[in-house]
Structure 1
Amino acid sequence: MKVLVSVDIEGVAGVTHSEQTRSGNGEYERARAWMTAEANAAIRGAFDGGATHVLVNDSHGSFRNLLLDQLDERAEMVTGKPRYLSMMAGVEQECDTVFMVGYHARSQEAGVLAHTINSFAFRRVVVNGAELGEAGLYGALAGEYGASVALLTGDDIFLSETMHLFPGAMSVQTKRAHGNASCTSLSPGHACTLIHEAAAAAIAKVPELKPLVLSSAPFTCELTTQSPGQADLFCQWPTVTRVSGSSLRFEGDTMYEVLRILNSFSAMSFMLR
């Protein structure tokens, strides 16, 4: 069995402030070590549960956060950007299932550091009528490749909004959110113990799990931006329809297409910073 471990940082135990997610300071260096430890816990659990191959996708920011020299040597690493499949790169390599480690709640929710893809530009992402965060969007992308989602880890708000999308998946609550930048967290060591145990148990459940499939194509994506200026910029894309001052709509034949457009918008938004 081949497993893809997609690792973000906002849902990692102990991470509660944006400085911990940005390079160039000591708090980030400590947080990326916790991120690496949680990735290793998921890797060990996957192998202990019977996985034969584990790929790890560094899924935060620059996609260059995990400490490769500290990563379990049995795993392979997907790092750096750009890449078409973004947080789900590697799933196309015939992966059977996905572990989402250190994930966070969607934009405008009360979870720790909640956002969807780009906190500067994206306020709300709706696909075929369903509001989705990163786990839903990328879980649906994994589903197009026939891969289920077997493990979810992050805060309580993330789990409460996400678990219904992935019936039967294992979960680990690493912290209880008290707002965007405050929480009650497990210790990093305890979180890793729980992630290891859940990852091992998740492997046994994979044959019963079904990939996430949203309603049939075409997929209509409605994006609400953080400002009208961002909508101005994104509407330069020729297939986009302006809906209101800060909202727009476009279609894709697959979730792969939808996410490539969203990630292109995210990259475009840096010219407005």
Structure 2
Amino acid sequence: MRRIYISADMEGVTGLVDADDVQPGGRDYERGRRMMTEDVNAAVRGAVAAGATDVTVNDAHGPMRNIVPEALHPAARLIRGRTKHMGMVHGLTAEHDGVICVGYHTRAGALGMLSHSFMGHEIEDIWLDGRPVGEIGLAHATAAALGVPVAVLTGDDMACAEMTDWDASVATVAVKYAQDRFSAELRPVEEARGAIEAGVATALREHRPVPAVTNPATLSVRWQSASVASVLQGIPGVVGVDSRTVRAEGELPSLYRQFGVWMRVASSLTNQPPYC
């Protein structure tokens, strides 16, 4: 695999367990940024070892300005900042040969480190074609629609299990083991980063078929606030399921982009911190 795309989230990064580790202004956020950067660097090293000649990294967490640019591996190009029309998979194209998801976490309601789906408490549930889904499944399905396989996911053991349940062919690397939503047993830092590097190198050397994807797809979202669902129904194609749930049908990846618009509408109507 020559052209590799890395989507980097933060909650599933080595050593991080609390909102203060991953939110700007948190007492350990600056340390968290460095930890995130080094997990990404381990993935880049693994990709280069497997023969990658072009590596794109998308900073996909929160403000999307978390990775420390000057500390990033020189083989990688960084997509940084907001707004990104395709959010966590912005910059991913059909020309890429594989996707690596670094630092991912479980969906809303699941037991896992810092679990949520995109907007903390505001999004209660998401379904893709009737199947419960979070950031992991939506990234995977969007990549598949572009014809690009997800090769590796790193995060806590519960995020790895969620990925395996979604697609068992994806290699996973657990860097910590969830005890609850804000506590974990941590792998030693160097051991975890070594496992990321080795796992990526091994996975990218193997042939990865592109999973089948259903298109058009149906996306349903249950919000905490009924006002969000009400306003969203003003968008053509968005219909109400109940007072807090809306759905729409469309082709991936365009449906993923539309979901980003839904979240921007929700952000304008609510003010929910991610881990209150």
TM-score bracket, shorter-length normalisation: over 0.9
Q: Distance in 2 between matches of 1:236 and 1:183?
A: 42
User: Of residues 234, 238, 260 in structure 2, which corresponds to 1:236?
Assistant: 234
Q: Which amino acid aligns with 1:243?
A: V
**Deviation readout 1:47-83 (Å, 9 max, x if unpaired):** 0111121111111011111000000111111111222
For 1:72, what is the secondary structure of its paired residue? Answer: coil
Q: Which amino acid aligns with 2:123?
A: F
Q: Which residue of 1 aligns with 2:69?
A: 68
For 2:84, what is the secondary structure of its paired residue? Answer: coil
* Contact 1:154–1:172 (CA under 8 A) maintained in structure 2: yes
Q: Which residue of 2 aligns with 1:212?
A: 211
Residue pairs, 1:30-109, within 5 angstroms: 30-92=31-93, 94-109=95-110
Normalized against structure 2, the TM-score is what? 0.93
For 1:255, what is the secondary structure of its paired residue? Answer: coil
Q: Which residue of 2 aligns with 1:6?
A: 7
**Is 2:238 the partner of 1:246?**
no
Q: Distance in 2 between matches of 1:120 and 1:44?
A: 35
User: Of residues 255, 259, 263 in structure 1, which corresponds to 2:260?
Assistant: 263
Structure 1 position 180, deviation (Å)? 1.4
Structure 1 position 128, deviation (Å)? 0.9
Q: Which residue of 2 aligns with 1:173?
A: 174
For 1:98, what is the secondary structure of its paired residue? Answer: strand
Q: Distance in 1 between matches of 2:27 and 2:20?
A: 9
List 4+ stretches of structure 1 deviating above 4 A: none
Q: Which residue of 2 aligns with 1:126?
A: 127
Q: Distance in 2 between matches of 1:90 and 1:61?
A: 17
Structure 1 position 115, deviation (Å)? 1.1
Structure 1: 5+ residue stretches without partners: none
Q: Distance in 1 between matches of 2:243 and 2:146?
A: 35
Q: Distance in 2 between matches of 1:130 and 1:223?
A: 11
Larger mean Cα displacement after TM superposition, 33-42 or 54-63: 54-63
* Contact 1:139–1:212 (CA under 8 A) maintained in structure 2: no
* Contact 2:146–2:253 (CA under 8 A) maintained in structure 1: no
Structure 1 position 266, deviation (Å)? 1.2
For 1:171, what is the secondary structure of its paired residue? Answer: strand
Q: Which residue of 1 aligns with 2:201?
A: 200
Structure 1 position 84, deviation (Å)? 2.1
Q: Which amino acid aligns with 1:265?
A: W
For 2:155, what is the secondary structure of its paired residue? Answer: strand
Larger mean Cα displacement after TM superposition, 62-71 or 232-241: 232-241
Q: Distance in 1 between matches of 2:15 and 2:190?
A: 10
For 2:108, what is the secondary structure of its paired residue? Answer: coil
* Contact 2:85–2:257 (CA under 8 A) maintained in structure 1: yes
Q: Distance in 2 between matches of 1:218 and 1:90?
A: 22
For 1:163, what is the secondary structure of its paired residue? Answer: helix
**Deviation readout 1:208-254 (Å, 9 max, x if unpaired):** x1223332x221111111232322232232322111121111111x1
Q: Distance in 2 between matches of 1:33 and 1:92?
A: 28
Structure 1 position 93, deviation (Å)? 6.5
Q: Distance in 2 between matches of 1:20 and 1:93?
A: 34
Q: Which residue of 2 aligns with 1:147?
A: 148
* Contact 1:18–1:113 (CA under 8 A) maintained in structure 2: yes
For 1:268, what is the secondary structure of its paired residue? Answer: helix
**RMSD (CA atoms):** 1.5
